[in-house]
Every structure is written in C-alpha cells, then in structure tokens.
Chain A
Amino acid sequence: MRTTRYYAKTKRGQEPETVDVSPLGGQRYAVTYLGAKHELESLVLPHGAVSLIIDGESYAVEFEEVGDEVRVLVKGQVTKVDVADERKMRMRAAGGSFTVEGKQTIAAPMPGKVVKVFVKVGDTVTEGQGIVVVEAMKMENELKSPKAGKVVEVAAVEGTAVENGAKLVVVE
C-alpha cells in the first residue's frame, strides 16, 4: 500500500519530524517515526475520541482541533501537535516568510481555482502581504508575498483554474 509522509511538530520553531504512514487495511496502519516502526490500530469514535492500540498497548485518545494544530489528550497529558502532509508543507512554503533576494515567483502550490487577486503590476508590496487567494478542497488559501518589492507580472486571473506549480504573480 501507498505510504504517505507527514511532518509533525510538537514545539514551536522545531524542525518537523517525518512520520510515514502506510495503510494495512481496515483501521490498521504501519507507522515509522523516529526510526522505529509501529503497528497501530486506530478506531475513530464520535466527538473526536479515538481508541488506539499501538503494538498491543491501548490508549484512549481525545482530539481537539485548534487552528492548524490538534490538541491530543493521552493519559491526562495534552500535546499540541502540528501535522502537515506534503501538500500542506508546500502551501506553507509558499505562504511562509523568508528573506529572499531577486525576482520571486508566487506559484500555485496545488491545483485549484484563483478566487482573488489583490495586486496589479506596479504595486508596491510588503513581505507577508496577501497577494492571491487560491481555493482547493473548499479551503481558501491566501498566498503571501515572500519579500518586500514591486509586482512585475500578474498571470493569475480571478475565477480561472490553475495547475500545480502554475505561475501566479512575480514580485521583484
């Protein structure tokens, strides 16, 4: 079965750790994390409750979603876990802020629809300013300018579909 890679953080500023999840059928999964492979059976119950059996050990787990993070309650300990898949990581890379030099292309991080274009050629933008909103899976994702500068090209057109990696806006 196909393995999906997830990136998990439990502390702010921490480098994400990889968690590889392979479905074994039903609610069973093989999971590799921190160099160890585990077999998990995860029975999802109502109200965010999960009955989890990891290599034979039973855990009553409660989930609570707060923004991008999930709060995971296990044996009285609450751990905030930020879990992202590849797609989300790409979104974040596009939406994140870095100090960058030169011409920067803001590209679609996934296939979707351009819902909103906030800028036109010649506009001055600041780092982190919202440039384009792309909708995918019924979620609107605002793409931000990676740097302060001037908009030199706008390829995105509101209402049109875009492919993964399509050029949307160029900032210099």
Chain B
Amino acid sequence: MAPRFKRVLVANRGEIAIRVMRTCRELGLSTVAVYSEADRSALHVRQADQAYCVGPPPSRESYLSQDAILDAAKKAKADAIHPGYGFLSENASFVRACDAAGIAFIGPPASAMDAMGEKTRARAHMVKANVPVVPGATEPFKTLEEARAFAEKVGFPVMLKAAGGGGGKGMRRIEKMADFESGWRAAKSEAMSSFGNDAVYLEKYLDQPHHVEIQVFADGQGNCIHLNERECSAQRRHQKVIEETPSPILNPTLRAQMGDVAVRAAKSVGYIGAGTVEFLVDSTRSFYFLEMNTRLQVEHPVTEWVTGLDLVRWQLDVAQGARLPFLEPLHPRGHSIEARVYAEDPGQNFMPSPGRIDYLRIPGGPYVRDDSGVYAGYEVPRFYDPMISKLSVWAPTRPEAIARLDRALSEYVVKGITTNLRYLRRILQHPDFVKGDYDTGFLPRAHDQLLGGDDAKLTEVAVLAAAVYAQQRAEKAATKISAATATGTQGSMWRHGRQR
C-alpha cells in the first residue's frame, strides 16, 4: 500500500513528542504539536510545523482531553494521530473517537486495547491463549474458606490484592497459612477504606522477580514478530530507571520461548502495531505474563540500538497498511543500555524537583544517544512526569556498554534543578548490576549504598575549587568597586576603607 499520511499530530509532550516528530521529519511528514498552557515554551512546540493549545496545565484538561485533541487534528488537517506513551495512548474510547472522525490512530485497534486494558480481563484472555500467568484467581473470593483453599493450592507466599486497587495500594503479602485469616481481614478492610470495595483476589507471590519484557510488532495482515527482550528490573517505586537488552538472565532458548509466547499473546487479541508484553521471571526462570502495554514503550531506544530499526517508522508504515518487512526472528547485535534522567532528588525519596534549567550540556561521542525534551533556560513544569531525558548507548558487549553509559553520564551537566545523574552512575557501578544479577528488589535493597560514599579525593578537589572560586569572585568584586570609585560613582568611605 502506498504511503498516504501527509501530516501527523503527536498527542503528547516532552521527549516522546520530539522522538516521534524526528522520524516524521525524516519521512517528509509534516508535524502538529499540541500543548497545554503550561507548555507554551516546551521544546516539542518549537520542533513542530504546527502547534495548537489544548487547554489548561492539568493533563486531565489538556493532554487527556479527547475533544480538544481531535479539534486540533481537524483544524490542522492531520491524517493521523500518534499518541506516544501515557496520556491517551492506551485509551480505547479515544481510538474509537479517532475512527469516527476518520483520523488514523497510530496504534492497535480499540478491540485489542479493550482486551488487554483491564488486568483481570487480560489475564482471562491469556489463560485462554495458553500464555502462562502468575498463578492466582481471576475473580474475587466470596468466602474466607474459598480463599484459604485457593492459597493452599498455589502455595505460600501469596499476595492478596484489592480488586478495585492499583498503584501498589491494597496489596498484602502473606507468608504462611497461620497468618492467612488475619491478613484476609486486614486486606478486606484496607480495600474497603481505600477503594470503597472490599473485594479481594489472590495471586502467588513471586519473591523479587525479574521484570523482562518482549517487544512485539504486528501488521494488519496477520503477521506478528518479536524483537527480543528488554530487562527492566532496575526500578524505584515501581518505575523503571535503567533498561537494557539483551537481558543478562536470558539464554537463546528462553528468549525464543518468551518471544513465542509474546507473539501468541498479541495474536490472540488481534494486535496491530508496536506492543510490549511484560513478564515476571522468577528465580527458577519460569516466566509469567504480567500485562501488555499497547503502545510504544519509553525504553524502545535500546531495541532500536540492537536491531538497527526505527520503531516509530515501523509504526507509521504499519498504520498505513504496510506489511512487516521480515518475519524471521532477529538476533540482537551487541548490547544497549538506557538510563532515565529524572528531575528528582534520590536522597529525598525521589522527590521531583521542577524548576529552571540554568545550564545543560548533553553528552556525545561514539554510540551515544540522548532523547531529551528540554533545553537550557527551560522551566521544567510541575504538572507532568519529571523525566527530562533518556540517555542510551550501544557497545559490542555488556561490560563495554556499561562503561560507555557511565562515561556518557559523567559528561552530562544539568544546573538549576536536582537530577538523579549521580544515582544512575552509582547503579551502573554497583557490583550486582555489573554482574547482571539484579531483580526488582535491587534498587530498594541497595538504596543506601547508591546514595552514600563520596570519594574523599573528589571532595577535597571540590573544597579547593570552591575556596579558589570564592577568592576569584572577591577579587573580581574588588576590581569592580575600585573601578566605580575611580569614576566617582557610588564611592563611600567604608568601601575605600575595605580596599586598603
């Protein structure tokens, strides 16, 4: 099918909006930005060919406003909308609204999103498609006895979860049968008070699993392939910080197995476009379906590095009816790691630190890629995600990739706001990370190590530098005062006195 898009609206902000626009430009497509009132000065507005304000700063009233975004698309005469990640990217009703408006949504059909959107529904679909899921119930229990019998069957430890819950709330881990009844009651009352619904279901608790995900891609002709995995176990507060591919814990057999299962999962819901199937991998290397992200993933650059592909280009091609260019599994070439640079303070429980970026220097050199959405002089708004950039590298081997990312991070300079740059380097230097032996419990476990331990020599250099800097500033100030005195302006007795 011949390409038919001329103009693409990117319904997002920050680095991902810019990432998508870059590929559009390379393909000769015109780009349309949308922005909230807080984002008038954002970089993605300047990068686009057209820009439309879609509402006030809160996302709910702007980036999540389907009407405002569709209005902008109509005004701009956009043929297609790329949703990026987050915001409306996994919203099936928005997909239907785009369909109704005759504007192509660059992503899967609404039906596939529906199937994967809700956790228990996705789980039921996966069980039907013979995809392994974390052993557990798909429905809430009616009685304690029923729950107890089920816990016995899947084996302890188990996790009780509020059916109406989310975001890590309403979950309770139970170690043994003796604790079950009290845990059950506590979980129910917590679910009631937090979500107004005391329905509770149960899953086997996986002890510090790895989070490994498979990139899949499907076209509209029923073809689907996987593009290998990404290891995403380095997480703080359930958010990914560092991702890499290949995963240090996968071998070719396991990769092929997980890849096949991921493709099966995608096919079972009629998936089209880029998607990611997330798995938990336990210490015995058994893997379980966690969820499917029905969009482009934040960490897609590492896959691009080892495959040599432009995934946004593939998204655009598939959305215009193209077939996948090949269907056989692709062997990853070399190793890639990405670090997420956040405007936050790891020493203050990762508190976001919005504010003005006074100075910015982005690293360079061989095989270094920075996907950033900010610039020097830019005020990082307090309304959105604190991620300011993704820094990724490629190297032939994992140790070389670690050294390269560490080197590149050492060149990164952001002044005016607090960032996690140093924390990121500490992760890369940590023995467990270097060994490739880290699970989702790694960052919380190593937290103190990742913060403390200044290098005494560098502290000494900092003191020497600061003292001399103070001296140089005093000298400069004295020069200014004597110049002012010499010209007769603002000369006062005490200033004369101070100069001696």
Q: A40-B464, A42-B465, A111-B494 are in contact. Are A23 and B475 (CB under 8 A)?
A: yes
Q: A47-B358, A52-B461 are in contact. Are A19 and B467 (CB under 8 A)?
A: yes
Quick check: A64 and B416 within 8 Å, CB to CB?
yes
* Shortest beta-carbon distance from B472 to chain A in Å: 6
Quick check: B467 and A137 within 8 Å, CB to CB?
no
Quick check: B497 and A111 within 8 Å, CB to CB?
yes
Give A76 to B459 CA distance when docked, in angstroms: 11
Interface stretch (choices A55-63, A95-103, A117-125): A55-63
Q: CB-CB contacts of B400-418 with A at 8 A, as 1s and 0s? A: 0000000001100101100
Give the chain B neighbours of A6 by CB distance below 8 A.
467, 470-471
Give the chain A neighbours of B461 by CB distance below 8 A.
52, 54, 59, 61, 74
Q: Which residue of A is nearest B466, CB measured?
A: A81
B359 at the interface (CB under 8 A from A): yes
Give the chain B neighbours of A21 by CB distance below 8 A.
467-468, 471
Residue among A31, A38, A42, A47 making CB contact with B359, cutoff 8 Å? A47
Give the chain B neighbours of A8 by CB distance below 8 A.
463, 466-467
Give A50 to B415 CA distance when docked, in angstroms: 14
Interface residues on B, range: 35 or more
Q: CB-CB contacts of A1-18 with B at 8 A, as 1s and 0s? A: 000101010100000010
Quick check: B470 and A79 within 8 Å, CB to CB?
no
A70 at the interface (CB under 8 A from B): yes
Quick check: A75 and B410 within 8 Å, CB to CB?
yes
Quick check: B469 and A54 within 8 Å, CB to CB?
no
Give A5 to B474 CA distance when docked, in angstroms: 12
Give A36 to B67 CA distance when docked, in angstroms: 68
Quick check: B467 and A72 within 8 Å, CB to CB?
no
Q: Which residue of A is nearest B492, CB measured?
A: A161
* Shortest beta-carbon distance from B365 to chain A in Å: 15
Quick check: B463 and A77 within 8 Å, CB to CB?
no
Give A34 to B460 CA distance when docked, in angstroms: 9
B144 at the interface (CB under 8 A from A): no
* Shortest beta-carbon distance from B102 to chain A in Å: 50
Quick check: A79 and B462 within 8 Å, CB to CB?
yes
Quick check: A48 and B458 within 8 Å, CB to CB?
no
Quick check: B358 and A64 within 8 Å, CB to CB?
yes
B498 at the interface (CB under 8 A from A): yes
A73 at the interface (CB under 8 A from B): yes
Give A38 to B468 CA distance when docked, in angstroms: 11
A78 at the interface (CB under 8 A from B): yes
Quick check: B471 and A50 within 8 Å, CB to CB?
no
Give the chain A neighbours of B416 by CB distance below 8 A.
64
A85 at the interface (CB under 8 A from B): yes
Give A136 to B413 CA distance when docked, in angstroms: 34
Give A19 to B471 CA distance when docked, in angstroms: 11
Give the chain B neighbours of A59 by CB distance below 8 A.
461, 465
Q: CB-CB contacts of B234-269 with A at 8 A, as 1s and 0s? A: 000000000000000000000000000000000000
* Shortest beta-carbon distance from B426 to chain A in Å: 9
B425 at the interface (CB under 8 A from A): yes
Quick check: A74 and B468 within 8 Å, CB to CB?
no
A148 at the interface (CB under 8 A from B): no
Give the chain B neighbours of A42 by CB distance below 8 A.
465, 468-469, 472
* Shortest beta-carbon distance from A163 to chain B in Å: 8
Instruction: Tell me the B431-485 residues at the A interface (CB within 8 Å).
Output: 454-455, 458-472, 474-475, 477
Give A23 to B471 CA distance when docked, in angstroms: 9
B421 at the interface (CB under 8 A from A): yes
Residue among A33, A38, A50, A112 making CB contact with B469, cutoff 8 Å? A50
A-B contact pairs, 25 of them (CB 8 A): A17-B463, A21-B471, A31-B468, A33-B460, A33-B464, A40-B465, A42-B465, A42-B472, A47-B359, A48-B359, A52-B461, A52-B465, A52-B468, A59-B465, A64-B415, A72-B465, A74-B462, A76-B421, A76-B422, A77-B458, A77-B462, A79-B462, A81-B462, A81-B466, A83-B463
B interface list, Cβ under 8 A from A: 358-359, 409-410, 413, 415-416, 421-422, 425, 454-455, 458-472, 474-475, 477, 492-494, 497-498
Interface contacts beyond A10-B462, A40-B468, A77-B458: sample of 18 additional A-B pairs, CB < 8 Å, sorted by A: A4-B474, A21-B468, A29-B471, A33-B463, A40-B464, A42-B465, A42-B468, A47-B358, A61-B461, A70-B469, A79-B458, A79-B462, A81-B463, A83-B467, A85-B470, A112-B494, A137-B477, A161-B493
**CB-CB nearest 10 A-B residue pairs:** A79-B462, A111-B494, A72-B462, A19-B467, A81-B466, A77-B458, A76-B410, A6-B467, A47-B359, A21-B471
